[in-house]
A and B are shown apart, each in its own frame.
Chain A
Amino acid sequence: MLRGLLATLKEMVVDPVTTVQYPEVKRPVSRRYKGRHTLKRYENGLEKCIGCSLCAAACPADAIFVEAAINTDEERYSPGERYASTYEINFLRCIFCGFCEDACPTEAIVLGDQYEMSFTERSQSIYDKAMLLEPVPAGVQPTPQKTEPGKFTRSVPEMQDPKD
């Protein structure tokens, strides 16, 4: 018995704090942590998502649902011709594999560090576009924006290869 107690006492003294007082204290997540998704924006406020539905195609859990519509310069949501008029993720289905992030041609969908999700009803698990989209940067118009014709003709931006 004493030998057993010794181990406990040793732990108390040698490495005393292992319990994190969640939710008062939260541990930082790793840089590649895959939490709840965010839909990103460009600096000018336009949405990166072009409604191509490749994330939905890549999703092994069939958790993503996208519907596209036509952009105009009068009402522009994203660069190019097409934007997502509906974007929904069902987080009861999502397995946080990150395939959607890999499939995205515009780096619009990114799995973030948000892991605190709880639902009291099944319908609450479906996050729509407004809930997923990140806020507009300060001093920039929200979408839809009125843009000058001929400026945003390309849907897919030129991108660098990932560094890490």
Chain B
Amino acid sequence: MSYFRAENLSLHFGGLKAVDAVSFAVEKGEILSIIGPNGAGKSSIFNLVSRIYNPTSGRIFFEDQDITEEPAFGIAKLGIARTFQNIELFENATLLSNLLVGRHRHSTTQLWQELLFLPSVKANEKIHRRRVEQVIEFLDLEPYRDKLISGLPYGVRKVIELARALCTEPKLILLDEPSSGLNVEETDDMSFWIRDLKTELGITVLMVEHDMTLVNRVSDRVIALNYGKVLAMGSPAEVQRHPDVVAAYLGA
């Protein structure tokens, strides 16, 4: 069976079918991109997978486990992390504490232990910090370690989004438009990191993206959506040649 699977996923807002019977599968270790024009339902699929929205119908499976009824925080505990298109960082905290929140699913200490800050808590903290420092190094975020998020530029925040998701040590990562708002150099960096996620860290990537250069460079497979329906699925080149996709983008 596939690593991650969505079966007949639908999301209706009243009469609007944001996602309409979409099925797809992600294989372990691949990078799958979802493309499509604005309003095609890409972000809605992400919000369904990360359980921010409840699907109208359909099921979601991860590692052969039905996660359709799992609460949003449970998804993270299973090893699925996500980033947000419009940046949802903890603005009034430092970069370090933002990333440490990402370690939340690995914390095992009890409230009373934390109140006393017992040695076990301290030992755990050190492990968390070591992992966080590794992520900081991986993404070159050292200069901003102790800075408040609210003072950092957009491009850096976008990287921090990725860093925070990585701190959860995910098996599957959902990237919601990782390059939106980035300049050419920053997008280049992002594409290398995304490749590294797969090759160095062995993380499976599901990505929504507009920038076709980035999609072509990193994706193993591509899904094209429009009006909440799947238009085409396959290698980047195949999908881009598909007549329905061309029609959707060019409005022909």
A binds B: no
B: residues with CB less than 8 A from A are none
A: residues with CB less than 8 A from B are none
